[in-house]
Chains A and B, each alone.
Chain A
Amino acid sequence: MSRAALLVLADGRFPAGGHAHSGGAEAAVRAGRVTGAASLEDFCRGRLHTTGLVAAAVAAAAALGADPGELDAAADARTPSPTLRRAARRLGRQLLRAGRVAWPSAELDALAERFPKGAHQPVVLGVAARAAGLGPADAAYCAAYESVSGPVSATVRLLGLDPFEATAVSARLAPEMDTVVSRAVGTARRVAGEGADALPAASAPLLETGAEAHAGWAVRLFAT
């Protein structure tokens, strides 16, 4: 296993479409819930322990070889907002494109054939991690980190937030990412015996409703 492959997959510059999404930060900024580094940290903590945890668990289960179709349905069931479901599949399709070129593999090809318009991004992330020779914890780390780094970099653009302060938010949340990853991998390991119902179903209602409202705006910087 190559440790460096994890850095390649987790790199914010990995060309898989993430740059166009704020992870709900744009809606939260407009609503006045994120106004600076402190409220950004609260927002990211909430996201990490809800959708971040679910994404990490799904990614870990996919990296362990669970059935992608079952995981995709499980991710759907855990994403009430149709806008976010569409975005997750679009991002999955984009990640699949990048992943298939970076780490050619029969499993990624099979995923593309089965889901030509994309599977939920964490499912693809887990299969891509397998293709890269990475394990379930690595896939979960990518998902957990993304759940924080997306809103952080978007908020730098949205608020003109000091980039050092913003990066410090991610750094302060790192120990909690470790906790979330270990919980996610623990539940993912139960999927083989108990099915996808073993996966966590934590959700953040404001992220879901905010995404629906955001999708209706005439002027916005980010796709979600």
Chain B
Amino acid sequence: MHLGHSLSHGGPEVVGADARRPDGVRRALRIGLGGPVGSGKTATVAALCRLLRDEVSLAVVTNDIYTREDAEFLLREAVLPPERITAVETGACPHTAIRDDISANLEAVEDLEDEVGPLDVILVESGGDNLTATFSKGLVDAQIFVIDVAGGDDIPRKGGPGVTTADLLVVNKTDLAPHVGSDLARMAADARAQRDGLPVVFQSLRSEEGARDVAAWVRERLAVWTA
């Protein structure tokens, strides 16, 4: 799926959406994870790394708002070797770095491929933001939007670009539902109504299944990407 931005002069890659690197090799599949603060994006990334790292070559880019905490959490948890985790600084505006001005993130993914590649999948985690934060198609091939039951069970009903258009909606922390009075059946019905057939996963990282469904979705995406 080359998008036609070919460069006649043969310089380094400049267009993020190009499926091939300058040497002609297919680049890694890039999957964005966005969602509100505290919904469990970093925990989901960590769980995905643990589930997938033995079968695919993985790397992670984090976009923290004002620290390197997400990257440091992943390093501390040792979900991947440190050279496979890069933090991008976003200047107080995480959605700008994943949507309006993706240059720093593109550099991070390209440098990871240069330095630790070949890579199959790069997970690009956004800093916690609001319900309108979505990734540019120039940066990622598919995006996961992570919300949680404790953030209010009306979030799926309210919709917004993340909930409505993300390739996968993850409703996290289902184990908390009885404690915060969230109605999972209602959340599921609202999400179905908003998403026009796009998939939704309900997960609790405290359960045995953990991020298994999301990992399966990533595997499917990778199979399509490499087909």
Contact = CB atoms under 8 A, between A and B. Distances in A.
Interface string A193-224: 00000000000000000000000001111110
Interface in B50-84: 65-67
Interface residues of B, number: 26
A20 B66 contact: no
Interface stretch (A105-113, A141-149, A162-170): A105-113
Interface string A10-28: 0001011111111000000
B66 A221 contact: yes
A94 B101 CA distance: 9
A20 B15 CA distance: 21
Interface stretch (B39-47, B86-94, B163-171): B86-94
A85 interface: no
Nearest to B107: A93
A49 B125 CA distance: 39
Interface string B84-123: 0000011111001100111110110000000000000000
A90 interface: yes
Contact of B66 (A16, A19, A101, A220): A220
Contacts, number: 78
Given A113-B12, A218-B67, A101 B93 contact: no
B11 A223 contact: no
A104 interface: yes
Contacts of B10: 109
B9 interface: yes
Nearest to B8: A104
Contacts of B103: 15-17, 93-94, 97-98
Contacts of A97: 14, 103, 106-107
B7 interface: yes
21 contacts: A15-B102, A19-B91, A19-B93, A20-B90, A20-B93, A21-B91, A90-B104, A93-B103, A94-B103, A94-B104, A97-B106, A98-B103, A104-B7, A109-B10, A110-B11, A218-B67, A220-B66, A221-B65, A221-B91, A221-B92, A223-B89
Given A19-B97, A20-B97, A113-B12, 9 more contacts: A17-B103, A93-B107, A100-B11, A109-B7, A109-B11, A112-B14, A218-B67, A219-B66, A222-B91
